[in-house]
Structure 1
Amino acid sequence: MRASAARRAAAARLREAGVASPERDADLLLAHVLDVPLGRLPLVDDLSEDDQGQYDALLARRAAREPLQHLTGTAAFRHVELAVGPGVFVPRPETELLAGWAIDVASTLSSPVVVDLCTGSGAIARSVADEVPGAEVHAVELDEGALAWAERNLAGTGVDLRHGDLATAFDDLAGMVDVVVCNPPYIPLEAWESVAAEARDHDPYLALFSGQDGLDAMRVLERRAALLLRPGGVVGAEHADVQGVSAPAVFAASGRWVDVADHLDLAGRARYVTARLAR
């Protein structure tokens, strides 16, 4: 079959299944099957019978709303490539902005100590270690399935990865940390039906839901960050786009923080909150 015709048919199939980016997903899956860069797809003429069979099998799984990254086994995040699959939250492009904030802050400091709470795949910790070579980076993950992926992604990076709870992690670093960064669970339990099938049916429950208003983990983070940070240290945390007021309020209400601010993503939606521990 002609590759161009296969790509068009694949995109139509994924569009019919409700996939948000059918053309790009169709191309990425074909590039994965052929083991070629995305930019070389227009140069491919015909698909072999074996290639077509593999492509059809992956398209069927994607049409069933299995995450694209589970099918390819990788997820790009800033300047690194992460191994992902069943059992770990697939990092989203929006989280790259939060990671970028942590990197920018850490880059202004001499020998910064950075803690990534709820590390999941290790995406933020890996990016900080990659882009701020002088940083001392620590990360923690509670879910054992996700921890296994983080161990794989952080191997050889020098990141101190631990198995533990956001609420109790890193007692040994109390008052010594410069930057705390976290992508906590933040979906309200009542919003289960509205979550995209790729996340709801495949991402770990622990990585998604956080109480009736979605802010249970944020409240725990506020308390833990206050214990871990040195005076003047900063915290940054992702939240849902409808929490642009309520998430910053968690920090403002405690009286422990100054410079509480919310930040937009590239689509103009409220995306993450930052705050500085009062001196």
Structure 2
Amino acid sequence: MHGEDLRTRLRSALATTTARLGEAEVPSPSADARALIAHAADTDEPLVLLDELPEDFDERLERATARRERREPLQLILGRAPFRRLVIDVRPGVFIPRPETELALDLLLEHLDEAPAAVIDLCAGSGALGAAVLDELPCSRVLSVEVDPAAAALTAHNLERAGTGRGRVITADLLGEVPELAHLEPVDAVLSNPPYIPPEAIPRDPEVLAHDPHRALFGGGDDGLEVPRAVIGWARHLLRPGGVLVMEHADVQGEEARDAAAAIGGFDLIRTLPDLTGRDRFLVVRRAPGEPTSRSERLTR
């Protein structure tokens, strides 16, 4: 195809796709249109560098655009989601990683004296947090815990891609007994983006309500903090003295999360920290030095 004809075809595709997504009330129609066109063109390069299109470009773009018009998440259409330095594989039925969660690893490193050798990712979902640890901290090992078998399988896949042989996954419900965790040696860090939405707070976005599994959204209990409290409790038992938990929560749950950590006890630092937009989104706690480390008390040996 002649270069000018290709440019004209791409401009037309961009204008048409953007207009269709705008009419469907997609929040970022132009950006999504560009991503869908690149997907249909089977390229990761900027569109201006293309010199040809696949024969089935129009059909691929039409299928992808129709899916996005129905408010299927862009990440599911593309089969991937950016997360820090990585591109994480995503699958239907598994919680899609969000950009705001990326800050959790930075907050963890800010509160540790050195890079952690052993990290546990509780409520792992797609495995994005654990994969980021393996990618950016080549001396670290990661154990991810996920209740849903399909999500656990995806976590294992993404961990292996990010750090061959340094990550493993167990499928377990943190609200019950988890023998695999009860016999671990103390670890340096715990990361978690647990479900935390209260039962009455129904998500408005169709992408979330129809495509993110409800088990990964709603945290249980009247306040949505049943699972987050379990995460804090496990962190109390899993962390070595001086070890750190970073847990994401809703921007209105900071005080309740701090209260939960204080009630569970064993921490000498309990803080709420904001995300990049200034909203309170992360609980950071540190295991108190000098705490008992007996097998019966810590459940980690």
TM-score with structure 1 setting the length: 0.91
List gaps (5 residues or longer) in structure 2: 1-7, 290-301
Cα root mean square deviation, aligned: 2.0
List, as ranges, runs of 4+ consecutive aligned residues in structure 1 with deviation greater than 4 Å: 43-49, 103-107
Change (3 A) 1:228 1:71: same
Q: Tell me which residue corresponds to 1:20.
A: 27
Instruction: Tell me if 1:54 matches 2:65.
Output: no
Aligned equivalents of 2:184, 2:47: Cα separation in 1? 49
Task: Encode CA deviations 1:151-203: one digit per residue, 9 max, x unaligned.
Answer: 211222420211112244411125x11101111001111012x3421121111
Count of residue correspondences? 275
Amino acid at match of 2:73: P
Residue in 1 that maps onto 2:15: 8
Give the greater-gyration-radius structure (CA). Answer: 2
Q: Do structure 1's residue 144 and structure 2's residue 153 form an aligned pair?
A: no
Question: Which residue of 208, 225, 240 maps to 2:217?
Answer: 208
Aligned counterparts of 2:201 and 2:117: Cα–Cα separation in 1: 38
Give the 3 Å change call, closer, same or farther, for CA 106–86 of structure 1 in structure 2. farther
Mapped contact 1:141–1:163 kept (Cα < 8 A): yes
Identity over the aligned pairs, expressed in percent? Answer: 43
Could you tell me how far 1:112 is from its partner in structure 2? 2.0
Please tell me the residue identity of whatever aligns with 1:30: I
**Quick check: 1:122–1:139 contact (8 Å CA) kept in 2?**
yes
> What letter matches 1:214 in structure 2?
G
The yes-or-no answer on 1:172 pairing with 2:180 is: no
Query: Which residues in structure 2 correspond to 1:1-279 (within 5 Å)?
Result: 2-38=9-45, 40-44=46-50, 50-105=56-111, 108-109=114-115, 112-155=117-160, 156-167=164-175, 168-169=177-178, 170-173=181-184, 176-192=186-202, 194-211=203-220, 212-279=222-289
Contact conserved, 2:145 with 2:172, CA < 8 A, in 1?
Answer: yes
TM-score by length of 2: 0.85
Q: For residues 104 and 248 of structure 1, do their structure 2 counterparts lie closer, same or farther at Cα, with a shift above 3 Å needed? A: same
**Partners of 1:103 and 1:127 in 2: how far apart?**
12
Is there any run of 5+ residues in structure 1 with no aligned partner, and where?
A: none
Contact 1:103-1:132 within 8 A present in 2 as well: no
1:63 to partner: Cα distance: 1.2
Q: Shift in Å at residue 49 of structure 1?
A: 6.7
